[in-house]
C-alpha cells in the first residue's frame, strides 16, 4: 500500500524542484536528446520529474577547471534518471556527489587487486563510481551522450551504482521479486565468456565494447549502455542478456527506439 506521508514528501520535493526549473524546460531538453526518442509525453514528464529530483538531491561539483551551467547539469541528470525511471530514485541512495572534470582524469590513488597487491592507478578515466562515494565524470565524454553511439559514460557509471546497491560490484544488482537469479547468472556469464573470447581473438570485430571483458561488473555496465543506446544491437548479439536487462530495468527500449546504422 502506498505510504501517504512518503507521497506527500515526494510531492513537496517536486514542487521545490520545479520552482527552480520549470517542467517545460525539462520537456524541451528531452526533445534534443536522441537517447530519449520514442517516449510519450507522460513518460517524458515522469523522466523530467526524476531528473529534477536527482538534480536537487545530488551535488554537482566542478573539478579541474570544468565549467558547469544549469543546462549541462539538467542534461546529465536526464541521462542519470533514465536507468531508474521505472525503479525509483531510491536506487541511488547512499551517495550524494557528482564530480565533473572537463576531460579524462587520472585518479592517482592506491588500489588493491584480488591478490592483495597494492598499486597506484594512473590510468586516464572517463568515469568512475565509488561504493558509497561519488560518481566522477569527464564532461567531454558525458556530453557525447547526446548521440546514440552505443557508449554512454553516465549510464555506465549509474549501472555501477545500481550494481553496488547490495554492497558489491559483481555484475549482479539486487534482482526484483520474480526474477530468476540462476537464469541471470547463467545468461550473463555465458555472454561474458563469449565477449572475453572475442576480446582475446579479435576485439576490433566485437559488436559489444571489449572493455566489458574486464570483469563481470564492467560487463554489466557496458551492456547496460548498449541496452539504452542501441538496444537492437544488444538484442541481436545477446538476446538472453537483453531479456534479463529488460526485466531488471523494467523497460524495453527496442520497442520505442528505431534502429541506428542498420540496427
pTM of the model: 0.91
- Give the per-residue pLDDT at 14: 72
Q: In the Cβ-directed half-sphere of 61, how many Cα atoms lie within 13 Å?
A: 11
Q: What is the pLDDT along the chain (263 residues), one digit of tens a residue?
A: 455 555 666 777 777 777 778 889 999 999 999 999 999 999 999 999 999 999 999 999 999 999 999 999 999 999 999 999 999 999 999 999 999 999 998 876 666 666 677 767 778 889 999 999 999 999 999 999 899 999 999 999 999 999 999 998 999 999 999 999 999 999 999 999 999 999 999 999 999 999 999 999 999 999 999 999 999 999 999 999 999 999 999 999 999 999 987 66
- Give the per-residue pLDDT at 97: 97
Q: What 8-state DSSP symbol labels residue 24? A: H
CA distance 53 to 212: 30
- Give the per-residue pLDDT at 20: 77
CA distance 160 to 170: 9
Long-range contacts of 205-213 (CB under 8 A, 24+ apart): 207/233, 207/236, 207/237, 208/234, 208/237, 208/238, 209/150, 209/151
Please report the domains of the chain, with CATH numbers, ordered by start residue.
Answer: 1-149 (1.10.472.150), 170-263 (3.40.390.10)
At 59 the three-state DSSP class reads strand
Reported as type and span, the H/E element at residue 118 is strand 118-121
Q: Give the strand pairing for 97-101 and 135-138.
A: parallel
The model's pLDDT over 222-261, given as tens digits with 9 standing for 90+, comes to 999 999 999 999 999 999 999 999 999 999 999 999 998 7
Give the number of other Cβ atoms within 10 Å of residue 126's Cβ.
20
CA distance 7 to 41: 22
Amino acid at each position: 500500500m502506498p505510504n501517504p506521508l512518503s507521497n506527500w514528501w515526494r510531492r513537496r520535493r517536486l514542487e521545490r524542484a520545479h520552482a527552480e526549473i520549470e517542467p517545460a524546460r525539462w520537456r524541451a531538453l528531452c526533445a534534443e536528446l536522441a537517447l530519449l526518442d520514442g517516449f510519450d509525453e507522460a513518460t517524458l514528464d515522469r523522466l523530467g520529474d526524476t531528473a529534477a529530483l536527482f538534480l536537487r538531491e545530488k551535488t554537482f561539483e566542478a573539478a579541474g577547471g570544468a565549467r558547469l551551467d544549469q543546462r549541462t547539469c539538467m542534461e546529465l541528470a536526464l541521462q542519470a534518471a533514465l536507468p531508474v525511471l521505472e525503479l525509483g530514485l531510491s536506487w541511488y541512495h547512499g551517495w550524494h556527489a557528482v564530480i565533473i572534470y572537463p576531460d579524462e582524469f587520472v585518479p592517482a590513488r592506491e588500489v588493491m587487486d584480488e591478490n592483495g597487491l597494492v598499486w597506484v592507478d594512473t590510468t586516464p578515466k572517463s568515469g568512475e563510481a565509488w561504493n558509497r562515494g561519488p560518481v566522477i565524470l569527464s564532461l567531454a565524454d558525458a556530453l557525447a551522450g547526446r548521440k546514440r553511439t552505443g557508449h554512454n559514460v553516465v549510464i555506465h557509471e549509474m549501472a555501477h551504482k545500481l550494481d553496488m546497491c547490495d554492497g558489491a560490484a559483481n555484475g549482479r544488482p539486487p534482482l526484483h521479486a520474480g526474477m530468476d537469479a540462476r537464469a541471470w547468472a547463467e545468461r550473463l556469464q555465458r555472454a561474458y565468456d563469449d565477449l572475453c573470447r572475442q576480446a582475446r581473438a579479435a576485439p576490433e570485430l566485437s559488436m559489444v565494447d571489449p572493455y566489458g571483458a574486464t570483469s563481470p561488473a564492467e560487463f554489466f555496465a557496458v551492456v547496460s549502455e548498449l541496452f539504452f543506446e542501441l538496444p537492437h544491437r544488444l538484442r541481436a548479439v545477446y538476446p538472453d542478456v537483453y531479456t534479463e536487462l529488460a526485466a531488471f530495468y523494467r523497460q524495453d527500449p527496442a520497442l520505442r527506439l528505431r534502429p541506428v546504422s542498420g540496427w
